[in-house]
């Protein structure tokens, strides 16, 4: 069975709605990456040193990451030697398979929910990455699933952050626990956990500061929040999700490395993936950080925050190639 047939069958059980969201959301990356690879293979025909160099440039340009690209090119060279491949077209399915392998991991992409009790999810990340919007969209997602949700406005330092979360609360019909601007974030979290317990909430989504206006260290502030939450719910927070802006590419990876090492991050949310041609950053992050990508933002709409799925990601990128392969097979038949 050909690679493309396997790929097509592997996503046959996925819902058409979500698949179309991935396909539409990754259109810029598809044009900036997959179409360039296809053009390279069409132009070059033969696999030589210039072919590898150009492929390397395309992969790095898509923000796949220099280290990951070097390893990938070495793997491709080995496959070419082993299988005695000469035509560039024969390398295309192998490249696709390798990319799927890079995206897959042992980590579970599902959010760890506290079955039968309160689930506390903490959101961290620098200002401007879409943290508050992500919380609002996730609140909508869980409410649609019939869960009772509360949000905590723990970013008390950024101007307008509390009001922004309140607007989302009104949009999705979820209450926001808040204090005045400039208040102690840990005190907000204490009240939020108490409110969640009293109201028998299923999920508490907690916003945190991306930076502080005083001299207090941000990590110290986060540790204080951790301690307050854990006193009230011993096994919480159940997830610490770092929100990254995909359009910033390698900067997002740098943020994740600096922030993630010190703040107990358990998973990543990549926002604005629909707004960049450098969707390869998903592969770079997956390879260079031992963290799963749990959600991706694929548009502006309320339901455009989607749980990450490596098969759907690859299908969305290579959908055109699958169709081309089918046409070629039909023509040969």
Listed in sequence order, the residues at least 6 apart from 73 whose beta carbon sits closer than 8 Å to its beta carbon are 52, 55, 56, 59
Confirm whether 15-107+313-332 and 119-309 share one CATH topology.
no
Q: What is the pLDDT of residue 190?
A: 97
119-309 to CATH, choices 3.40.50.300, 3.40.50.620, 3.40.50.720, 3.40.50.1100: 3.40.50.300
Rounded to two decimals, what is the model's pTM?
Answer: 0.83
Convert the pLDDT of each residue in 254-311 to its tens digit.
777 776 666 688 889 999 988 887 788 888 888 888 788 899 998 888 888 988 887 7
**Residues of each annotated binding site for GTP:** 125-132, 207-211, 271-274
Measured over the CA atoms of residue 87, residue 93, residue 98 and residue 102, the dihedral's sign is: positive
Q: What is the pLDDT of residue 119?
A: 97
**Residues of each annotated binding site:** 125-132, 207-211, 271-274
Give CATH for domain 15-107+313-332. Answer: 1.20.120.140
Mean pLDDT score, 95-104:
78
Q: 92-103 and 281-288 helices cross at what angle (nearest 10)? A: 50
Name the more confident of 242 and 65: 242
Name the more confident of 164 and 320: 164
Alpha helices in the chain (DSSP H): 3-10, 16-25, 27-29, 35-44, 49-61, 66-83, 92-103, 131-144, 161-172, 185-198, 218-232, 250-260, 281-288, 310-332
What is residue 100's three-state secondary structure? helix
pLDDT band at 15 (very low <50, low <70, confident <90, very high): very low
Q: Cβ distance 54 to 41 under 8 Å?
A: no
Q: What is the pLDDT of residue 9?
A: 53
pLDDT band at 107 (very low <50, low <70, confident <90, very high): low
Comparing CA positions, the residue from 130, 269, 122 lying closest to residue 208 is: 122
Mean pLDDT score, 66-88:
90
Convert the pLDDT of each residue in 166-200 to its tens digit.
999 999 999 999 999 999 999 999 999 999 999 99
What is residue 257's three-state secondary structure? helix
Mean pLDDT score, 10-31:
67
Residue 325: pLDDT over 50: no
- Output the average pLDDT for the chain: 83
Comparing CA positions, the residue from 107, 67, 71, 29 lying closest to residue 268 is: 107
Residue 12: pLDDT over 50: no
Convert the pLDDT of each residue in 131-150 to its tens digit.
999 999 999 999 999 999 99
Listed in sequence order, the residues at least 6 apart from 26 whose beta carbon sits closer than 8 Å to its beta carbon are 273, 274, 279, 298, 313, 316, 317
pLDDT band at 332 (very low <50, low <70, confident <90, very high): low
Q: What is the pLDDT of residue 139?
A: 97
- Domain assignments of the chain as residue spans, ordered by start: 15-107+313-332, 119-309
Name the more confident of 320 and 265: 265
């Amino acid at each position: 069975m050909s690679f493309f047939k396997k790929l097509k069958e592997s996503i046959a059980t996925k819902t058409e709605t979500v698949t179309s969201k991935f396909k539409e959301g990754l259109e810029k990356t598809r044009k900036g990456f997959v179409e360039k690879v296809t053009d390279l293979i069409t132009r070059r025909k033969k696999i030589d040193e210039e072919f590898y160099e150009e492929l390397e440039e395309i992969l790095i340009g898509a923000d796949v990451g220099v280290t990951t690209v070097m390893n990938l090119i070495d793997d491709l060279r080995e496959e070419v030697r082993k299988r005695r491949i000469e035509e560039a077209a024969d390398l295309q399915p192998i490249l696709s398979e390798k990319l799927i392998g890079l995206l897959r991991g042992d980590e579970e992409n599902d959010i760890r929910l506290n079955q039968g009790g309160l689930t506390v999810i903490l959101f961290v990340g620098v200002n401007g990455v879409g943290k508050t919007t992500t919380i609002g969209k996730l609140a909508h997602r869980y409410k649609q699933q019939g869960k009772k949700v509360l949000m905590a406005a723990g970013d008390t330092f950024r101007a307008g952050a509390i009001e922004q979360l309140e607007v989302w609360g009104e949009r999705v019909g979820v209450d926001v626990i808040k204090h005045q601007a400039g208040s102690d974030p840990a005190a907000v979290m204490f009240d939020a956990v108490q409110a969640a317990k009293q109201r028998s909430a299923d999920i508490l989504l907690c916003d945190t500061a991306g930076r502080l206006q005083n001299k207090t260290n941000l990590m110290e502030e986060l540790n204080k929040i951790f301690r307050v939450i854990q006193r009230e719910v011993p096994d919480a927070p159940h997830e610490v999700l770092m929100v990254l802006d995909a359009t910033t590419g390698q900067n997002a990876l740098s943020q994740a490395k600096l922030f993630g090492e010190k703040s107990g991050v358990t998973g990543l949310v990549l926002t604005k993936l629909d707004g960049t041609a450098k969707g390869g950053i998903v592969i770079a992050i997956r390879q260079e950080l031992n963290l799963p990508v749990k959600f991706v933002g694929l548009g502006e709409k309320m339901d455009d925050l989607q749980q990450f799925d490596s098969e759907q990601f690859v299908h969305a990128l290579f959908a055109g190639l699958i169709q081309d392969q089918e046409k070629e097979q039909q023509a040969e038949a």
